[in-house]
């Protein structure tokens, strides 16, 4: 039986295709980067039910060679899951990998039992095993899914995919939308993947960045647009360690959203920065002569000692302008999401320090000097408001990620940073600190927090917040 959502998609596609005598049109915006979408098995329009299999699949990353990647449903990245706010999402997951794994729904406010944190929310799914994830998506935004068993290696092998949740009242007229999953891979000339522990201690300290940049699994792909045509880029940084700083000469990006959906107001900037795990909802108006090709570049971001030294810009993706004359860009519609600021004066303080030590010649990351495997859980109660001060005592920036909850980042004056937005991942600068406010709603359980440079998390920069009812 075809689902209501699948039927609607088929009708829209048929309408877009038109009759057989129509004149040929220019390539679609995402013709080269279009993601496979998961097939919805449910006839209920408010239920998204899919099957998802983790398996090894061959892909061509280096010309003339095949690379065995760990994938969801055989794709790099995994399939795009689409839902609307309030939909029930059911994922029948099967593990066909040669190792145990889980699926973590990064940024989604799921029940603790659905969070994919091994030994905290569920046992690892062993080879040949199955697990059904079943939850309601309460928030609009771009989220993503990835494993949380040996996560640095498994994400580095290719296990990640996007989840787009749309609101019923999405602002109209924002532009032509495309979802872009940013990542990287380390692949040898023969197509084999560089071992996940390459570089030893030094690799762990720096965080292992792949030498091949990918956008939706492609190297430097091309979007197709018309000059003046506004684009809405829905971006997620799925790399294990790399910060993505995007720049396009002569252009600006208008950031209208991030981790938790739309922000309270747009912000314009020359560059767009995403730490590992972060998302951005950004508008771009490509300008140039008909037929010109623009190049959006990855530019080095200073995340600590040696991370920008002798590193050139690299092409990330291109925007090919059609031969048609430029169009007049319509005015930007009003984007004014109402977000109530949290009050730090009523919050309970909590301080954490991100640390790095050497133990018997092995680099050990930790929180307050303690690696994750020795750390007791932090205790909190549902309904509480907490003020975290996260201090970085190391030589590298760390993207701090809290599972299951959004927070508001504070400015130097102690008020929520403007424009107001909901975050689940924030970069803590070298020898700096970030303060954030989080209110725990009624979802008790064990919730992980960690550095989203996954090499650092696996080396011990991770902890558990144990949330109980009063």
Q: Say what the pTM is.
A: 0.93
Model confidence band, residue 22 (pLDDT cutoffs 50, 70, 90) = very low
What is the spatial distance between Cα 271 and Cα 203, in angstroms, rounded to a whole number? Answer: 27
Q: 439 has which bridge partners?
A: 385
312 Cβ partners below 8 Å, 6+ apart?
A: none
- CATH homologous superfamily for 344-468? Cupredoxins -  blue copper proteins (2.60.40.420)
Read off φ and ψ for residue 200, nearest 5 degrees.
55, -140
pLDDT band at 25 (very low <50, low <70, confident <90, very high): low
Q: Options 3.40.50.1110, 1.10.10.10, 3.40.50.620, 2.60.40.420; which CATH number does 4-166 get? A: 2.60.40.420
Domain boundaries, the chain: 4-166, 176-321, 344-468
Query: Across-strand partners of 318?
Result: 222, 295
Please say whether the beta carbons of 210 and 241 come within 8 A: no
Residue with tokens 């003339």: 64
The two domains 176-321 and 344-468 share their CATH topology (first three levels equal): yes
Q: For 29-180, where are the alpha helices, taking DSSP H only?
A: 151-156
The partner residues of 381 in beta bridges, in order of sequence, read 468
Q: Which pLDDT score, from 0 to 100, does residue 288 have?
A: 97
pLDDT of residue 337: 92
CB half-sphere exposure, 161, CA atoms < 13 A: 26
User: Could you read off the pLDDT of 35-84 as tens digits, one per residue?
Assistant: 999 999 999 999 999 999 999 999 999 999 999 999 999 999 999 999 99
Residue 205: pLDDT over 70 = yes
Region 19-40: mean pLDDT is: 79
223-261 core/surface letters (b: 16 or more CB in 10 A; e: else)? bbbbbbbbbbbbbbbbbbbbbbbbbbeeebbbbbbbbbb
**Longest Cα separation, the chain:** 73
Q: CB-based contacts of 208: which residues, under 8 Å, 6+ apart?
A: 152, 156, 186, 196, 198, 199, 240, 241, 455
Q: Where are the alpha helices (DSSP H) in 111-221?
A: 151-156, 200-206
CATH C-level class of 176-321:
mainly beta
């Amino acid at each position: 039986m075809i689902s209501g959502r699948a039927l609607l998609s088929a009708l829209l596609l048929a309408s877009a295709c038109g009759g057989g005598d129509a004149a040929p049109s220019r390539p679609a915006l995402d013709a080269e980067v279009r993601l496979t979408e998961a097939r919805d098995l449910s006839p209920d329009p408010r239920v998204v039910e899919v099957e998802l299999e983790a398996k090894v699949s061959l892909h061509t990353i280096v010309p003339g060679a095949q690379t065995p990647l760990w994938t969801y449903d055989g794709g790099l990245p995994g399939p795009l899951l689409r839902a609307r706010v309030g939909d029930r999402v059911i994922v029948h997951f099967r593990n066909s990998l040669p190792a145990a794994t889980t699926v973590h729904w990064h940024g989604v406010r799921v029940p603790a039992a659905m969070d994919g944190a091994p030994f905290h929310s569920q046992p690892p799914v062993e080879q040949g095993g199955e697990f059904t994830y079943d939850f309601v998506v309460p928030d609009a935004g771009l989220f993503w899914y990835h494993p949380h068993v040996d996560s640095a290696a498994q994400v580095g092998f290719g296990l990640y995919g996007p989840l787009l949740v749309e609101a019923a009242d999405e602002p109209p007229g924002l532009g032509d939308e495309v979802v872009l999953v940013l990542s990287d891979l380390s692949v040898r000339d023969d197509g084999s993947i560089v071992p996940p522990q390459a570089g030893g201690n030094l690799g762990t300290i720096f965080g292992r960045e792949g030498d091949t940049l990918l956008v939706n699994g492609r190297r430097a792909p091309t979007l197709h647009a018309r000059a003046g045509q506004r684009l809405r880029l829905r971006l997620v940084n799925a790399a294990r360690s790399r910060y993505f700083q995007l720049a396009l000469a002569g252009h600006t990006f208008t950031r209208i959203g991030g981790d938790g959906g739309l922000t309270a107001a747009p912000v314009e900037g020359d560059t767009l920065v995403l730490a590992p795990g972060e998302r951005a909802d950004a508008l771009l108006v490509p300008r140039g002569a008909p037929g010109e090709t623009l190049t959006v570049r990855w530019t080095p971001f200073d995340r600590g000692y040696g991370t920008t030294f002798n590193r050139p810009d690299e092409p990330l993706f291109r925007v090919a302008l059609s031969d048609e004359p430029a169009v007049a860009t319509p005015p930007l519609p009003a984007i004014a999401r109402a977000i109530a600021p949290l009050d730090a004066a009523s919050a309970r303080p909590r301080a954490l320090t991100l640390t790095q030590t050497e133990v018997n010649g092995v680099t050990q990351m930790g929180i307050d000097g303690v690696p994750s495997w020795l750390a007791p859980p932090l205790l909190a109660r549902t309904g509480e408001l907490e003020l975290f001060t996260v201090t970085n005592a190391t030589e590298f920036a760390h993207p701090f990620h809290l599972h299951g909850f959004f927070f508001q980042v504070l400015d130097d004056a102690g008020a929520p940073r403007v424009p107001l937005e909901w975050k689940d991942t924030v970069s803590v600068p070298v020898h700096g600190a970030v303060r954030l406010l989080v209110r725990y709603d009624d979802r008790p359980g064990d919730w992980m927090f960690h550095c989203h440079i996954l090499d650092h998390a696996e080396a011990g920069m991770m902890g558990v917040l144990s949330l109980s009812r009063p």
